[in-house]
Amino acid sequence: MELQRKSRSGCFNAGPVCGLLQIEKGCRTSAGRENQKMISRKEFLRKSAVLAAGSTLPLWLNGVSTKNPGPPDLTILYTNDTHARLDPFPENSLEFSGLGGIARRSSLVKKIRSEVDHVLLVDAGDVFQGTSWFDLYGGSVDFELMTEMKYDAMAVGNHEFDRGPDGFAEAARKAGFPILAANYKVRNTPMNPYVQRFTTKEYKGFRVGIFGLGIPLEGVVAPELRGDVISRRPEAWANGMVRSLREVHNCDFVICLSHLGYHYKGSRMDDLKLARNVTGIDLIIGAHTHTFLDNPVYITNPSGKHTLITQMGHSGVRLGRLDLYLDSAIHAFEIKSKYYVVGRSEA
Ligand SMILES: [Zn+2]
């Protein structure tokens, strides 16, 4: 109960998901524009102001106490549902006026890279759709710019299917980073060369495994857009990925880039249910529900350990940051969390 309460209070607006309904309507406006209305401007600015000051919230202590931790061993930066929002929101925009923009995000990332030893930069999907940049370039410009920013990985979002598997493949040729979906079967489709299940990174002996989970496509992506791509049960594939990453690839830390969505009533799989039911995921970076989580939520998974869940709203108005501090055996760590309001926060 406590966890449920926490998770609700941590989420001040979960916008509607962007799925089949909008595609059928011609989802040109989709997430980027429609969600401008979703969060009260006053509320957003009030909450933004707190974090814009650059406060760091001690978050999660997992067996190690570092009173004066010094520089982090690994800094994870992340976005989700950027929805082709390459320019900042216009000054006369009803919501997020003047915020966001990929150039500012890039500067922020560059500045953070200059201040810490190791950065992992990831996105949890739905880079496509939302502005005329997508109408003109079909996502290829977004992927080129993300490659320049040195993104390490992203998950496949449902809007990555908006031009079908061929359209995805055409844009994905510009992506110099792995695009992940462990539960999508893409063999014999044009997506096959560009989508993989997982990737691993190593930072001074600390091995990080990253896998992607896509939303079940049925009812979300129109059949003619998903082609021969088959989505399989996220929970089962998450269990398999965790076992493989920990036991075969010797990962110390496992991240799931999830495009499932933060929370749904009923039995539909979401990040909260995934965290409660799967052992061995340290961090879920979520997407799809456009949820602004001011602080990550932590859930006790079946093994009694914690799984952390976070999500940064949409349209690139926020950049999330988690700093990991490891103990000498690199088995225990402390994580601190903050986020930047892009266009307002200084690194
Ligand atoms: Zn989505």
Q: What is the Cα–Cα distance from 7 to 123, expressed in whole angstroms?
A: 21
**CA 28 to ligand 1 center in whole angstroms:** 14
pLDDT tens per residue, range 36-61: 333 343 343 333 333 332 334 444 44
For the chain, the straight-line distance linking the first and the last C-alpha, in angstroms and rounded, comes to: 36
Q: Please give the pLDDT value at position 326.
A: 85
Report how far ligand 1's centroid is from the alpha carbon of 54 (Å): 29
Which domains are present in the chain?
2-341 (3.60.21.10)
Residues pairing with 58 in the sheet: 336
How far is ligand 1, taken at its centre, from the CA of residue 275, in Å? 19
- Report how far apart, in Å, the C-alpha atoms of 111 and of each of 107, 115, 116, 117 are: 6, 7, 9, 12
Q: What are the φ/ψ torsions at residue 343 (nearest 5 degrees)? A: 100, -5
Give the ranges where 57-130 is alpha helix by DSSP (H). 102-115
Q: Which residues pair with 312 in a beta bridge?
A: 292
pLDDT > 90 fraction of the chain, expressed in percent and rounded:
73
Cα(328) to centroid(ligand 1), Å: 39
291-293 and 11-14 beta bridge pairing: antiparallel
C-alpha 268 – ligand 1 centre gap (Å): 15
Cα 73 to middle of ligand 1, angstroms: 31
> How far away, in angstroms, is 221 Cα from ligand 1 center?
10
Which two three-digit tokens encode residue 177? 């980073």
Residue 62 has pLDDT above 70, yes or no: no
Contact 284, 275 (CB under 8 A): yes
- Rg (C-alpha) for the chain, rounded Å, is 19
b/e string for 29-47 if b means 16 or more Cβ within 10 A?
A: ebbbbbbbebbeeeebbeb
pLDDT band at 152 (very low <50, low <70, confident <90, very high): very high
Which one-letter amino acid corresponds to residue 13? N
Pairwise CA distance, residues 115 & 36, whole Å = 33
Measured in Å, residue 289 CA sits from the centre of ligand 1 at 7
Spacing, Cα 259 to ligand 1 middle (Å):
6
Distance 168 CA to ligand 1 centre (A): 15
Q: Which two tokens stand for residue 34?
A: 């429609």
Q: How far is the CA of 118 from the centre of ligand 1 (A)?
A: 29
How many whole angstroms from 151 Cα to the centroid of ligand 1?
A: 19
Q: What amino acid occupies position 97?
A: S
Check: CB of residue 283 under 8 Å from CB of residue 182.
no
What is the predicted pLDDT for the residue at 346?
63
Using the structure block, give the residue that is written with the tokens 């067996």: 63
Tell me the two tokens of residue 104: 């500012």
- The whole-number average pLDDT for the span 65-93 is 88
- Identity of the amino acid at 24: E
Residue 312 structure tokens: 């940064």
CA of 312 to the centre of ligand 1 (A): 13
Question: What is the predicted pLDDT for the residue at 275?
Answer: 98
